[in-house]
Structure 1
Amino acid sequence: MRANDSGDIATTVNEFANDIFKGLDGNDNIVYSPASLATALGMTYSGTAGETAIQMASVLHLDASPTEAHEVFAGLTPRGDSGTPIFGAQCRENDGRGLLVTLVVAGSAADKSGLKPDDLIFSVNGKPVRTEEEWSKAIDSAGEVITIQSYCTKDGTVKEKEVPLTAVEYLTTANALWFQKGYPVDKVFLEQIKTGFAGFTSDVDFKKNTAQAVKTINDWVSRETNGKISDLLSSQSVS
């Protein structure tokens, strides 16, 4: 499949990921993010034309033109200032008698609530959950505190546990385009980066003040990742 709208982008990225995987050494233990790579290339593709655009479209499995790419990739980028809450538990329906927990991610909000596989979840923030749809809606609208009422199959007790929002993990993206200060960049292209990729754009002086450019970028990355990535670039990596 070649993506021409935002509904196709997930399948397209999977095909792109398969292409990358085929080119890797199967003997190595490698972790990579196809979505991140595709997004970075998609931002670049938005500013291309001619033969470069044709070749990049082929690599990315895109039918969309460079001027349309931001609309396609908009379906891949998480939206919202606070990110998407991830509770950290997989559940399945249990014939209308709550939801059966099948997986709990270590260190997640679900784990901190005391949930274990085979437990039953009856409600989230006071709202009964009997279907996967009700579960998704309850988690998405959880608010500052998630209150889980569950039945522990190990000891046969019903428990109610509050989990602070700080215990909930978030999925966000940090996309940015940095260009040489003084270099003319099309304003329409910059707007597409912002609207389609939720990207930040700014100029820095790579040529005359490399150290400051690196610091500016690293400081931005650190803020956007809550300090988890603080030294993405070094002066030696920018030339």
Structure 2
Amino acid sequence: MERRPPSSPNRRRLLSALAGVGAAGLAGCLGADSAPSAATAPDPAGSPAPATPDGGGLPDVDAPTDEYVAGNADFGLALLGRLADDAPNENRFLSPYSVGVALAMTYAGARGETRTELAETMRFRPTGEALHESVAALRADLPLSDGSAEEDETSTTGDSTGDDGAPFRLSGANALWGQSAYPFREEFLTTLERYYGAGLGRVNFRKRPEKARKAINGWVADRTEERIPDLFPEGTIDARTRLVLANAVYFRANWADTFDEAATEPGEFTALDGSTDEVPMMRQKAAFGFTEADGAKVLKLPYAGGTTEMALLLPPRERFRAFERSLDADRLADLLDATEERKVDVRLPQFEFRSKLKLAKRLAAMGMPTAFTRRANFDGMAEGDADANLELGSVLHEAYVRVDEQGTEAAAATGVEVVNTSATPNPPTFRADRPFLFVVRHRPTCAVLFLGRVADAAAAA
């Protein structure tokens, strides 16, 4: 039986921010311009600055990450469950890591009841400065590059290769854009630079919001290989915007044991609504982590390099929703811990889809309503009465996934806008011909990078 790995002691300096792709936009009415501090001097070109590639001078961090990882997985599974309740027959994909880091950055500027609700809803454990230390320590444990060509070369491991010769790639970066002459608090900016590697660039949201929006979207698109081309749709950044925080992640990995394309053939998939369709079904027989528990089959498919894997959970179709609702971080960990390596006959559909999600109402319903009202308190972001009170407006998340014989490609984006105011003679089978859940995680830390549900493979073919 595989035991849950402890947190890695290897704390590398951060190259840049991870978190799926995340972004936060902060808005409020501004009176007369205030002089910026030296640390927030405007970018001479008037355009967003790139993320600090070395993590903003982040020192070695040796904070525990287990509590943060478990809490983030709990949040992601709870959010996925709410999305499924809203549309039970639809495929969904998201990055709890992305949403978690984007909201952790927002948490740095929250105060009072707003801060408490945000921490409870996001399952932040620990809180306060220790939260930022935990996020930074986890980022340091991940095999992360900053998305540049030079750094990406250092993140490739393993023997098999993808289209560009890279069998494994996980890249990410954070950046911060603020209204010119806006009096952001030095403590807030220091926290984001120290723990998230987010350097500040100055823009003019009041007079040129569309130019800023396009530049920010371009930065995100570039960091996600164009998979997230329009994180902030037209109209989401306007003259009220005062700050945008963005983080981007791109993941591509080959399977440690790739599927033979010649073995892929049409197979029947029964969707959650009972309809059936033929879909491209991949197949291979090999040794994988496998177990059966409470009628559900659990399979782990490792990626090249051995540090990440996809875990698939296949309950009986008639019990899929009950299983999905019952899943939390502890149960997920127990199921994955119980797997044992054995030869398995695997049949898995190819799939590719994206999810575009509006999360504001769901987050409010999950326990943080104050942040979306006039009672919101984000006094930790700016000095004095710089603006009318800030509150969260929209929270947007977009995620993309593609799974084929070679491996997996995934990217995600989160945008937070703040506005004013047992063994058998034959190998067991894992035939994913009905709805299933899947998780992409970093094995040494157990961090859930992405998770999703395939309710209808035909809709994702």
Same fold (TM over 0.5): yes
Higher normalized contact order (CA 8 Å, seq sep 6+, divided by chain length): 2
CA contact (8 A) 2:145 2:172 kept: no
Q: Which structure 2 residue ranges, 5 or more long, are not aligned?
A: 1-62, 239-461
Task: Report the CA distance between 1:32 and its aligned residue.
Answer: 0.8
The total of aligned residue pairs comes to 164
Does residue 40 of structure 1 match 2:102? yes
Residue deviations 1:67-87 (CA, integer Å, cap 9, x gap)? 332211113324454254353
Aligned to 2:187: 188
Aligned to 2:160: 110
Aligned to 1:9: 68
Equivalent residue runs for 1:1-239 within 5 Å: 5-25=64-84, 26-77=88-139, 78=142, 79-81=144-146, 82=151, 84-87=155-158, 110=160, 166-239=165-238
Residue deviations 1:151-193 (CA, integer Å, cap 9, x gap)? xxxxxxxxxxxxx984233102233333333322122222221
Cα 1:27/1:222, change in 2 over 3 Å: closer
Q: Partners in 2 of 1:184 and 1:14 — Cα distance?
A: 35
Structure number with the higher strand fraction is: 2
Q: Quick one: which amino acid aligns to residue 208 of structure 1?
A: K
Aligned to 2:408: none
Q: Partners in 2 of 1:32 and 1:60 — Cα distance?
A: 15
CA contact (8 A) 1:176 1:199 kept: yes
Q: Quick one: which amino acid aligns to residue 236 of structure 2?
A: S
Task: Report the CA distance between 1:228 and its aligned residue.
Answer: 4.3
CA contact (8 A) 2:75 2:123 kept: yes
CA contact (8 A) 1:43 1:193 kept: yes
Task: Report the CA distance between 1:218 and its aligned residue.
Answer: 2.2
Q: Partners in 1 of 2:194 and 2:164 — Cα distance?
A: 28
Cα 1:235/1:205, change in 2 over 3 Å: farther
Cα 1:201/1:64, change in 2 over 3 Å: farther
Q: Which structure 1 residue ranges, 5 or more long, are not aligned?
A: 88-108, 113-163
Structure number with the higher helix fraction is: 1
CA contact (8 A) 2:72 2:124 kept: no
